Amino acid sequence: MKADPPWIVLGLIVAAAVGIPLLAGDQVADFAAALQPPGPGHLAGTDHSGYDLLVRTAEGLRVSLLIAAVCAVVATVLGVAIGVAAALVGGGLDAVVMRLVDGFNALPHLVVGIVIAAMWRGAPLAIIASIALTHWPAVARVVRAELLAVAEAGWVETARLAGASRWFVARTHLVPAVTGQALVAMVVLLPHAVWHESTLSFLGVGLSPDRASLGTLLSEARGDVLAGAWWTLAVPAAALIVAALAFAAAGTSVRNRHRPPVGQVW
């Protein structure tokens, strides 16, 4: 199977995020080399502490990607579980879950994320919770809509008439039917998670400044830019944009791959 260009780019991004810090080893602050522009010694320049900005950006990218991946997985699992439960039980529970989804969707995600992250400032688990808890409703809505159509299929009705339990029907028929949609949702959530983590850290309620992430690097660069060190902002911002665009393109690729052919239904 021919690899899609977005996945090739993502592979290169992950390889750079993991490989560059390993090859560079531990960095030591060198204030005599602070805010050096990009050049032969430092391809991306240095920051205000004298750290190589390319290595620092790779470290920040690795942290941001790891947090985004965990957030996407948690939000997807939570959304699938709630969507399956709502569609399987139906009735009053389904109505309650849909009102809960509507309520979560009505809340501004960034504000909710700031409140949760600010309660445990600097804790990675708080950032993961703030992002995952504001993104699961979209997954639950998609999964529920898909399952309502699958529940009317002949093989599901046959299983029920044969005396199969709800758990058996869910495990054997319903969950496999939404696996493709869940995969698409998880990939699509990745760029959102990257942006939200970077935004929270940029606003000062995310990771602590001593832990490199794209958001903390962008936050630290605000003062450096005023001193003329434009590269301290441009390099991590470029990494953030490229990573987000690559994830978005990969999500489109996965969605197109799982889209039913014209004239057919799921």
pLDDT tens-digit map of 166-192:
677 777 777 777 777 788 888 888 888
pLDDT higher than threshold 70 for residue 2? no
Residue predicted with more confidence, 60 or 138 = 60
pLDDT at site 155:
65
Show the tokens assigned to 227: 């001193």
Beta bridge partner(s), residue 46: 52
Q: What is the pLDDT of residues 215-240, one digit of tens each?
A: 889 888 888 888 889 999 999 999 99
Domain layout of the chain by residue ranges: 5-17+51-258
Domain 5-17+51-258 in CATH 1.10.1200.10: no
pTM for this prediction: 0.81
Alpha-carbon torsion, ordered 177, 183, 186, 187, to 10 deg: -150
